Amino acid sequence: MMNLNDRPDVQPGSPWSFPTCIVDDLSTGLTVVRVPMPGQKIITMEIGLDAPLSAEPAGLEGLAGLVVRTADESTTPHPDAAFAEAMESIGASYDGAAGLAGSHVGVDVPVTRFDAAAELFVELLRTTSLAQTDISRQLDMARASLAQTSQRGSALSGLAAARALWPEGSRSALPTIGTLTSVEKLDAEAAREFWTAHWTLSDAVLVVAGEGVEDLDLSVFEQWTATGSAAEIVPATPRVGGPRVILVDRPDAVQADMRIQQATVGRAHPGWAALKVACGALGGTFGSRLNQVLREDKGWSYGVGMSARPLPDGGVATVAGSFRTEVGADAIAEALSILTSDDDLRDDEVDSARDHLVGIAPLQYDTAGSVAHQVAALVRAGLAPTWVDDHLAAVASVKADGQEWSANTAWRQFLNPDDWRIGICGRAEDLAPALAERGLEAVVVNPTEVLS
């Protein structure tokens, strides 16, 4: 008989796989992916657009996101607030974002109101107004966002690391929402020109996920016929030379925020799964080396994280953490020591990181929205919707050593000890001399400089 104080046995999780995808094309050439998800009563329609940040004209950074955020403000048939009221009346919501790989826009709606929502979504794609009054309101919000960013150490350290990693002027090194300078140059005319050129069928994909989507009539999307040329995505090439450490001075900061980055391979590389596991063992789980040393052993931080994420061409590995100012320089030096250590990852470290990555997958894709977004990103990247299952199988097979792409092989080959670039935000008066004592000469800038 089991005592109430006895620890229950933990059973292995049930097998999980990414939802099955049904791929087709409309008569217009638009690629359509249906993802049936029984029980998901909220349907997500998402369109991936060939409208990346790199397609923005020089000096007009922030334009791609501005078009996405303003598109649902009004349309020709539903001017002013009428479009929002029409969406609200059927319980539908619009969302979207612009990024380095492209823009994505989507609508969530109860399955019982799908047809009405699809008509409104197509109306938005075809006749969004992008009126100056709406654009002006969104620009005011962009200015407010930049003002908030100027007070957020985590965001400033990330921008500083990007400035150190990518060439000066590279879109990867600038805020997604635009810079303090570029936001002042954006207007409705520029927005409409960008929309006309890039919100087209060129390299676009429509994903519909939720219950019963295999039976939905999608013919309304054939009314969207805008055509255009493919946007040119310039490969992100890491900076040669330049400062290795950039320190953003915030005299009133109560802590030191850190980002350590380097460019690496992307998800098309056969060693991507091993790199993900290696990053997990180094800093991606609570029991990882960085977290154990900097949080548990030293008590310098509430937590340190590490991850690798794909870019349109290649990928980037990032370490992030926040520390008390008086130990900030020591923490960064210790983190670099761990990242460049000769001590290979142990079997138990790799096993834990691997099992964590496989175990959290069902949580990452538990809604129609998360699944639709992943599928749209994969298809636009030239990968099959089945990539998630293939990737997780590859992750599950990673070991510490003894295979072509082991965790230690990925660590040694993909994360060069000399290529780490560092962004820090905090009190330069204290941090700069402390960093210099540890061989880390920092270029000191102010928040305005990294936001311009």
What is the structure's pLDDT at 239? 84
Average pLDDT over residues 194-221: 97
Q: Is residue 205 domain-shared with residue 270, that is, in the same domain?
A: no
Q: CA-to-CA distance for 89 and 290, rounded, in angstroms?
A: 50
pLDDT at 11 over 80: no
Q: Is residue 274 domain-shared with residue 402, that is, in the same domain?
A: yes
What is the structure's pLDDT at 230? 82
Q: Is residue 211 domain-shared with residue 276, that is, in the same domain?
A: no
> Is 205 within 8 Å of 47 (Cβ atoms)?
yes
What is the structure's pLDDT at 151? 96
> Is 216 within 8 Å of 114 (Cβ atoms)?
yes
Residue 32 identity: V
Average pLDDT over residues 132-156: 98
* Buried/exposed 229-244: b ≥16 CB within 10 Å, e otherwise: eebebeebebbeeebb
- Identify which of 52, 107, 41, 7 has the alpha carbon closest to the alpha carbon of residue 311: 52
CATH code of the domain in which 365 resides: 3.30.830.10
Confidence of residue 1 (pLDDT cuts 50, 70, 90): low
Confidence of residue 2 (pLDDT cuts 50, 70, 90): low
The CA-atom distances, in angstroms, between 244 and each of 159, 166, 258, 259, 421 are: 13, 11, 13, 12, 5
In a domain, 8, yes or no: no
* Pairing mode, strands 245-249 and 421-426: parallel
Burial of residue 45 (CB within 10 Å: 0-12, 13-18, 19+) is buried
Q: Is residue 397 domain-shared with residue 445, that is, in the same domain?
A: yes
The domain of 398 spans: 245-451
Q: Is residue 165 domain-shared with residue 288, that is, in the same domain?
A: no
Q: Is residue 85 domain-shared with residue 201, that is, in the same domain?
A: yes
Q: Out of 4-8, 189-193, 243-247, which region has the weakest mean confidence (pLDDT)?
A: 4-8
Q: Is residue 249 domain-shared with residue 186, that is, in the same domain?
A: no
Q: How many domains does the chain have?
A: 2
Average pLDDT over residues 230-236: 75
Q: Is residue 190 domain-shared with residue 292, that is, in the same domain?
A: no
Residues 6+ apart with CB under 8 A from 292: none
Q: Is residue 254 domain-shared with residue 335, that is, in the same domain?
A: yes
